[in-house]
Chain A
Amino acid sequence: MSNNPTANDTVLLRMEGITKSFPGVKALDGVSLTVRAGTVHALMGENGAGKSTLMKCLFGVYNKDGGHIYLEGKEINFKNSKDALENGVAMVHQELNQALKRNVMDNIWLGRYPMNGPFVSEAKMYQDTVAVFDDLGIHVEPTTIMSTMPVSQRQMVEIAKAVSYNSKIIVFDEPTSSLTEEEVEHLFRIINMLRDRGCGIIYISHKMDEILRISDDITVMRDGTWVATEPVANMTMDKIIKLMVGRELTNRFPPKENVVSKEVSLSVRGLTGMYSALRDVSFDAHKGEILGLAGLDGSGRTETLETIFGAATKKSGTVTLNGRDTPNRTTKEAVANGYALLTEERRATGIFGILSILENTVISSLKNYLQGGFLNQRKMEESTDWSISAMRIKTPSQSTQIRSLSGGNQQKVILGRWLLTNPEVLLLDEPTRGIDVGAKYEIYQLIIDLAKQGKTVLMVSSEMPELLGVCDRILVMSGGRLAGEVSAKTATQEEIMTLAAKYV
């Protein structure tokens, strides 16, 4: 942590007064960032605070409007990421841009293959790759095809590539979002090693515990401006949140006011997926209950929701709602049976980006507005108004394109869409992913309100504090099976993690 022996006062990277405007928006307003050699510098802020824009200005993806960037005292202005890479500034992206059909060493030496006359020297490439991997303690065969490797290993390759360029500054953008605990540990060992060699690491993440653990300095941004830069020793989780949100957040979760009824509403028996790893999942959910689904990525949580909803094909098993069999062969049938699914990838499968709030709101409940075969515009507007006020959606008007709203407001629009279908069961897949800290609270409140009205909520989340704070019971999945059940009141994160690893 703070007593990092390698930290010194040599400044590697200094970004000063960076300004960037887009038509009608000032995305960055005089932001400064100073990274010392041999330190991990965390960059924090809510979505939209300008972290990505700042990094894009560094890498030349955007042309900055004003300000200066100095690398080891020399002013620089990269044309593109390749230019940056060649000058010792690398980025390990959250979404890895790799040639998946090629092998590991091809990816590392892409664009600068070691040559032997007119031919690429495969042997030298192999040796150099092994050397870099040994150096970092990575165990990957250089001839493995990228697409056959798990994300964590592909990330290691990306890091190795950065190291092979002798990068002095390495930016990690949400590197742990799809890693297991163990893989995170490995990643941290490598980051610490790079730091000890005198590299400057910029670490972008939403995960407070990681930040507090690994970083030396923390810079917080808000609304495109610099807010604070402090050594980690002076920071606490609450203080960071306060700086990010700009106000005090005393409670992360709203009071749980929902009452779990004795009456079982949703009953799932022996659910097995046709094309997924889902095997023999059985559980009951009660009216007014918020039932959490925990587990690692790929443990079958999402598949459970999708199979119940008919978005993934079921091989066997039954789904009953209030004693009535609801096979949900298609999503349309599921909607008619009183189910609603909030998907994990909001942008890919949730919103209709270029369509208006109104169209996004009414799409699942169109039959309610039919009058003599035609849609009644006034009724649709009324419903949209209801949704905007009930969900507390911040939008200039109903005709605003949904893509111009913030993630939290988009999520509220989709929740509103589903409430208009009057569902009995809400299947929520990562309902707060990519949403600002402040907006998360509002989403939690909405979820608890729904349970209060007697609806059944099934909620998948990777954030364990969220599950413990919002749910009544938590089902833990592992390897496509149900590993166990815990009560949210008494369970600990360790307990859940142990169950999650049961069938891995």
Chain B
Amino acid sequence: MPEEHRPEQPELRGLYRHVKISVRTLDIIIVAGIAAMVLLVLWSASGGGYAVRFDARGGSDVPAQSVRYGEAVAEPAPPERNGYSFGGWFADEAYSIPWDFQSNRVEGDTTLYAYWIPD
């Protein structure tokens, strides 16, 4: 009987073509996947905020801060270095993106780099 249509038995098509999997296995994947996600989140969610580090590039040490997502970084006192004057904090080592302590927000673990202008 070429088309015993009832019960309706849809097969997996499209990108799922040739996939052979049972509902039971899928249920296990769904439960295990969700469990893994929850565990990962609980394990890594400190809730304390992202680490913002200041790389003084040879200048005096600046303490790191812990800043929550979407909040601004408190501007630290400028570091010092002999023979140079401080030129501000940058988001990249190439000094192409200046960090604006007023408008820039933290979106993850961040390192800021000090820029030095030779005297």
The chain A residues found within 8 Å of chain B, CB to CB, are 22, 25, 27, 47-48, 50-53, 94, 173-174, 177, 204, 206, 346-347, 353-354, 403-407, 433-434
Contacts of A22 in B (CB 8 A): 7-8
Please indicate the chain A residues that have their CB under 8 angstroms from the CB of B75 in the complex: none
Query: Bound state CA distance, A47 and B2, in angstroms?
Result: 8
Contact A53 B4 (CB under 8 A): yes
Tell me, yes or no, whether B15 is within 8 Å of chain A by CB.
no
Closest A residue, CB atoms, query B4: A52
Cβ contact within 8 Å between B1 and A204: yes
Contact B8 A403 (CB under 8 A): yes
Q: How far does the Cβ of A37 sit from chain B's closest Cβ, in whole Å?
A: 25
Q: Are B4 and A94 in contact (CB under 8 A)?
A: no
Q: B63: shortest Cβ distance to chain A, in Å?
A: 60
Q: Which residues of A contact B3 (CB under 8 A)?
A: 47, 346-347, 407, 434
Q: Which residue of B lies closest to A24 (CB)?
A: B7
* Interface pair A404/B1, CB less than 8 Å apart: no
Interface size range on B against A: under 10
**Residue among A174, A353, A404, A406 making CB contact with B2, cutoff 8 Å:** A174
B2 cross-chain contacts in A, Cβ below 8 A:
47, 94, 174, 177, 433-434
Q: Which of A94, A173, A204, A407 contacts B5, CB < 8 Å?
A: A407
| B17 adjacent to chain A (CB < 8 Å) | no
* Known contacts A48-B5, A51-B4; 14 further A-B pairs (Cβ under 8 A): A47-B1, A51-B1, A52-B4, A53-B7, A173-B1, A174-B1, A177-B2, A347-B3, A353-B10, A354-B10, A403-B8, A404-B8, A433-B2, A434-B1
Which B residues are closer than 8 A to A by beta carbons?
1-8, 10
Task: Let me know if A47 and B7 touch, CB within 8 A.
Answer: no
Q: Is the CB of B10 within 8 A of A206?
A: no
B1 touches A52 (CB 8 A): yes
Q: Which of B1, B5, B6, B8 is within 8 Å of A206, CB to CB? A: B1
- Within 8 Å CB of A25, what residues of B? 6-7
Q: Complex Cα distance A52/B3, Å? A: 9
A-B contact count (CB 8 A): 46
Q: Can you list 23 A-B contacts (CB < 8 A)?
A: A22-B7, A22-B8, A25-B6, A27-B6, A27-B7, A47-B2, A47-B3, A47-B4, A48-B4, A50-B4, A51-B1, A51-B4, A53-B4, A173-B1, A177-B2, A206-B1, A347-B3, A353-B10, A354-B10, A403-B8, A407-B5, A433-B2, A434-B3
Task: List, in ascending order, chain A residues with CB within 8 A of B5's CB.
Answer: 47-48, 403, 405-407
Task: Kindly provide the distance from the CB of A168 to the nearest chain B CB, expressed in whole angstroms.
Answer: 23
Q: Report how far A10 CA is from B10 CA in the complex, Å.
A: 40
CB distance from B99 to the nearest CB of A (A): 50
Q: In the complex the two chains form, what is the Cα distance from A206 to B3 in whole Å?
A: 12
Q: Which residues of B contact A173 (CB under 8 A)?
A: 1
Q: How far is the CA of A140 from the CA of B3 in the complex (A)?
A: 31
| Chain B proximity of A434: nearest CB distance (Å) | 4
CB distance from A407 to the nearest CB of B (A): 5
Q: Which residue of B lies closest to A224 (CB)?
A: B6
CB nearest to A409 among chain B residues: B5
* Cα separation A173 to B10 with both chains bound (whole Å): 21
> How close is A219's CB to chain B, nearest CB, in angstroms?
14
Write out the residue numbers on chain A whose beta carbons fall within 8 Å of the beta carbon of B1: 47, 51-52, 94, 173-174, 204, 206, 434
CB closest residue in chain B, given A204:
B1
Chain A residues with CB under 8 A of B10: 353-354, 403
Q: Which residues of A contact B6 (CB under 8 A)?
A: 25, 27, 48, 406
A403 to chain B, nearest CB (A): 6
Please report the C-alpha to C-alpha distance between residue A174 and residue B4 in the assembled complex, in whole angstroms.
12
| Chain B residues whose C-beta falls within 8 Å of the C-beta of A353 in the assembled complex | 10
Contacts of A48 in B (CB 8 A): 4-6
Interfacial chain A residues near B8, Cβ < 8 Å: 22, 403-404
Report Cα–Cα, A58/B2, bound state, in Å.
19
Closest Cβ–Cβ distance, residue A396 to chain B (whole Å):
14
Residue of B whose beta carbon sits closest to that of A404: B8
Name the B residues within 8 Å of A27 (CB-CB).
Answer: 6-7
* A48 to B4 Cα, complex, angstroms: 5
The residue of chain A having its C-beta at the shortest distance from the C-beta of B7 within the complex is A22
Task: Kindly list chain B residues whose C-beta atoms are within 8 Å of the C-beta of A94.
Answer: 1-2
Residues of the B chain whose Cβ atoms lie less than 8 Å from the Cβ of A206: 1
C-alpha spacing A71/B42, complex, angstroms: 55
Q: Which residue of chain B is the closest to A346 with respect to CB atoms? A: B3
- Complex Cα distance, B4 from A204, in Å, reads 12
Question: Which residues of A sit under 8 angstroms from B4, Cβ to Cβ?
Answer: 47-48, 50-53
Top 7 A-B pairs, shortest CB-CB distance: A22-B7, A52-B4, A434-B2, A434-B3, A48-B6, A407-B3, A27-B7
**Distance in Å: Cβ of B3 to nearest Cβ of chain A:** 4
CA–CA, A354 and B8, complex, Å: 12
